[in-house]
Structure formats: C-alpha cells, structure tokens
Amino acid sequence: MAEFIKLYEENPNPRELKKIVKILKAGGLIIYPSDTVYALGCDITNTKALERVAQIKGVKLEKANFSFVCEDLSNLSDYVRQIDTKTFKLLKRALPGPYTFILPSSNNLPSVFKKKKEVGIRVPDNAITKAIVHALGNPIVSTSIYDEDEVIEYTTDPELIFEKWQSRVDIVVDGGYGDNIPSTIINLTGDEPILVREGKGSPEI
C-alpha cells in the first residue's frame, strides 16, 4: 500500500523529499502534482520502474510516449539533439510552464528508449515537482493519470487519487488540489512549431 505524503509548494519538507527520492531510486512509482494535472512518475534511469509504468498504462515500453520531466533546461542536451537558437528561445520563453515540447531525441536516451526519434520534454512551474527532480538528480519519466469517469477526465483531489491508486504505486504526494486541464503539446521537430494538443498553456508563445 502506498504512502500518502503532504508537501507544501511554498516549502517542500526536505525529510519527505529524501523519502520520495529513496523510493524512486529503488524503482518505486509516485503520483505527484504538477502545474497542470496530477501525474504518475518514476526515475528515468530505472528500467524496472519504467516497465511498471508502461504496464499500468497498458503500452509497450519501447513505444510509450512518456514525458521527461526536468528541473530546468540545463540538462536538455542529455536527451535532445542540438536545437537551433529560434527553438531554444521559444523554450526559454515558455518554460517553466504548462507545456510539453516534442523535440528530436539524442543518442543518450536510456537504453529502453534508444529507438525513439523524438522525446517530450516538460519543465513544470511547480515547486514540488522541481524539488523532487532536483533532489533525485535526473528527470522523472512521467505520464498524466486519467479518471475512468469520462466527464471528469482528470481527478483533482489527492485523497481520491490515493484511494484509487494506493495499491498500484508506492507514494502519492498531496500537493493540494490539482488542475483538470493537461499541458499544451507542441511539436518542434520540424521547421515550424505544430500544435498537437491545446491545453493549459497558450499556443501563442
């Protein structure tokens, strides 16, 4: 059964962060808040954990379209091929923020993602997310959690999320009520940006 950990965005508790990181490094799964909806995440370097996420989502790991959640743009070159100045300026303008940018992937991706030609990058504007990624020392591989109720689509109450997910994950982080609008997805692999999904972030950036 999962642990329910309360964190405050103004000042995430270092002791609780340490506990979350320990679980992530051991291959655990967490549900955590972001600047959009609550998400399911694991350590990008832990293949066993990645397989668990893929299994929950009902997809093959090699084909899964998970986002890489980063603290900032500093380790972008670890996962993304060299990008031009125009693209970088756009990223700097929009991030941190409620966007997922699809970018051409580099050869440094974790071995399970080696065949992927592109990767989704997120830098959420949420202090809890940033603190977890910072304490972990590398990105979290992440995917939004959906609600079975088609009307609601995304559960916003962390206690309801805990009720539903406690048997499938190791930690649910309560960061207060989440949003019910996902990130805006923009594909930057071509000559011009292409809007894939309009979400919380304005497509005009």
* The pLDDT of residue 149: 63
- Comparing C-alpha atoms, which of 137, 150, 146 is closest to residue 39? 146
Average pLDDT, stretch 131-138?
97
pLDDT in tens, 3-50: 999 999 999 999 999 999 999 999 999 999 999 999 999 999 999 999
Does residue 4 or residue 62 have the better pLDDT?
A: 4
Average pLDDT, stretch 85-90?
94
Average pLDDT, stretch 125-151?
90
Report DSSP state, residue 80. B
* The pLDDT of residue 115: 87
Average pLDDT, stretch 180-185?
95
Q: How far is the CA of 31 from the CAs of 97, 107, 151, in angstroms?
A: 19, 29, 21
List all residues 6 or more positions away from 122 whose beta carbon is below 8 Å from its beta carbon: 34, 67, 68, 69, 70, 99, 100, 101, 142, 183
Rounded percentage of the chain residues whose pLDDT exceeds 70? 98
* The pLDDT of residue 143: 95
Burial of 153 (0-12, 13-18, 19+ CB in 10 A): middle
pLDDT in tens, 147-157: 766 566 788 99
Structural domains of the chain, with CATH: 3-197 (3.90.870.10)
* The pLDDT of residue 198: 96
- Comparing C-alpha atoms, which of 187, 137, 144, 134 is closest to residue 33? 144
CB 75 within 8 A of CB 81: no
What is the greatest pairwise CA distance in the chain?
A: 47
